[in-house]
Structures are given as C-alpha cells and as structure tokens.
Amino acid sequence: MHIVVCIKQVPDSREIRIDPKTNTLIRQGVPSIVNFYDKHGLEEALRIKDELGARVTVITMGPPPAEKALKECISLGADEGVLVTDRAFAGADTLATSYVLAKAIRKAEETWGSVDIVFCGKQTLDGDTGQVGPGIACRLDLEQLTYVGKVRKVDPQARRITVERHLEDGIEVVETSMPVLVTALKELNKIRRASLPGMIRAARYKPVVWTTADFPDLDRSQIGLKGSPTIVGKTWVPEVRKVDGERITGDTPQQIAEQLVERLWSGDLSTRLGWN
C-alpha cells in the first residue's frame, strides 16, 4: 500500500498575541509546529504501515523552512518527505492549495506507486477551515471520510476501509472503497515519540523538493493568489460589548443567592424560560 499524508507547518496560534496599540498580530517569536491534526493522520498511516506494511509519503506545501516539519515526520517513521515550494504558490486559499496538493499527490503516485489512502488533519490551526481535505478528494476523485476518530478496519485485498466519524450528535460508522481521503481528529490515536534510529535518519534526510518546474501541466491560473477565489477584506479585534452590570453583595452567600434569584425572577425572563 501507498499512503500519503498531507501536513502543514503552522504558527502555534495559541501563542499568538495581539498588539494592543496597533490591533495587529504579533507573529514574532511564535514557534512553528506541525499542525497537530496532521500528526494524528501521520500516526494512523504509520500504524497501518506497522500492521499491514505500507510506504508512507509526507507532502507539504510551504516555504523552505517547512523542511523542518518534514524531517520531524521522517523521524517518526515516514519513508519520504516532499516539500512543494515556489513563490508562485504563495497566497493560496483552500481551493488553490488543494489544486497544488492534488498535483503533488499525482506526482507521488508516478514516483512511488498508486495511492490507497490520503490522510489530512481535520483542519489547520492557522486556517481552521477543514476545506483542503475535501478539496483534494474532489480533485483526485477519491472517496472522502472526514472527522475520523477511529479507523476500524483496512482491508487491502477487498480495498475497503471502515471508520468512525465523530459528529456533533454521535458517531457514524462508515465503510467505503479505497482510494480514499481521510481527515483526522485528535481522538484518532496517540502520537508516538521519535525513535533514535528515526532521529538519526531525519538528521541526514534531505526532503524531495518540487517546484512549479516539476509540474509541466500546471495551470498557472489555478495556483497562488491568482487561483484563490477568496480574499481577506478587513480584519479587526472583536470588541466584546461592555455591560458592567450590577454587583450583588451581601453578608452571607445565602443573602447574595437570594438577591440574585430575586433579580432573575423580576423580569419576564423566568416566564420565558418556563420557570415556575
């Protein structure tokens, strides 16, 4: 089997702060990490590799420093890491990103054999859209299983896969055919630590680099900023409306509680809530 994992190096958005004077993002000093949903996708690919045997190719589109993210994946056990990089790819939204990643997956198939499963994270920490996975599936005409919290069964002979999709109101068990694109939740698995041989291999590993020149049939109108239908208009820091309501005080917790209850029952709120 050949499994492709799409990953993205992202700024750790939890570390991003807003400059209170300019209302802009302070990106300086924010560490870059591998989007952790993608790492759960990688982990699942490696588990399938351990159990059934598979070649695992990791692909990322990004600037040259994203090489580091690929090396991290190699240290965990991926066979190859591909950096798809070119200035012409910059400014891509989800539509243009899925176009380039789909091209790269096709090229990976030509290089290392046809692909059975593509893993993506359910979404990235910086973009938060969850749209690239379905975009790739659509472009490559793959079956699509999003928000997967468990892979129940992979049957390479029958070319079927059974997963659990975690949705708002429950868990849906779905079976479909391969090739398939799966997007990973963090419930999918527990990410392993890199082994020493893995780390040694990663230290020496030079990722495969593909640029626009490596994709002779690339449609320039579909990549980068130009190939992106969506643009960012204005940005702002959300202002939360200030109420600065009434402070309720009292000598005892009981007094405070009774006063609060009195307030809550004073208007029509209690009627509308159906309180007796």
Partner 1 sequence: MAEQEQQTVGQKEKEPDWSEYRGVMIVVEQRYGKAKAVSWQLLGKGRELADKLETKLYALVIGHEVEHLAKEAGYYGADEVYLCDAPELKDYRTRPYSRVCLKVIHQVKPEIVLFGATGTGRDLAGAIATHLPTGLTADTTELDVEPPPSRLLLASRPAFSEKMMATILCKRYRPQMATARAGVFQALPRDESREVPIIRVENEMKEEEIAARVLEFISETGKVNLEEAEIIVAGGRGLGGPEAFGMLKELADALGGVVGASRAAVDAGWISHDHQVGQTGHTVRPKLYFAIGISGAVQHTVGMSNSEVIVAINKDENAPIFHIAHYGIVGDLFKIVPAITEAVKKKRGLPFGPELTTTGGNRA
SS (H, E, C) 109-121: HHHHCCCCEEEEE
Min separation Cβ 181 and partner 1, Å: 10
15/50 with CB nearer partner 1: 15
Min separation Cβ 233 and partner 1, Å: 4
Min separation Cβ 41 and partner 1, Å: 16
114/211 with CB nearer partner 1: 114
Q: CA–CA separation, 61 vs 99, rounded Å?
A: 11
SS3 168: coil
14/193 with CB nearer partner 1: 14
Min separation Cβ 7 and partner 1, Å: 18
SS3 8: coil
Q: Which two tokens stand for residue 219?
A: 């449609």
Q: CA–CA separation, 212 vs 88, rounded Å?
A: 8
32/111 with CB nearer partner 1: 32
Min separation Cβ 59 and partner 1, Å: 18
203/257 with CB nearer partner 1: 257
149/207 with CB nearer partner 1: 149
The residues, any chain, with a CB within 8 Å of residue 218's CB and separated by 6 or more, are 103, 212
**Cα–chain-centroid distance for residue 251?**
51
Q: CA–CA separation, 162 vs 169, rounded Å?
A: 19
- Which residues in 22-33 are b (16+ Cβ under 10 Å) and which e? eeeeeeeebeeb
168/217 with CB nearer partner 1: 168
Min separation Cβ 110 and partner 1, Å: 22
What is the 8-class DSSP label of residue 186? G
The residues, any chain, with a CB within 8 Å of residue 76's CB and separated by 6 or more, are 39, 42, 43, 46, 191, 192, 194, 198
Min separation Cβ 263 and partner 1, Å: 6
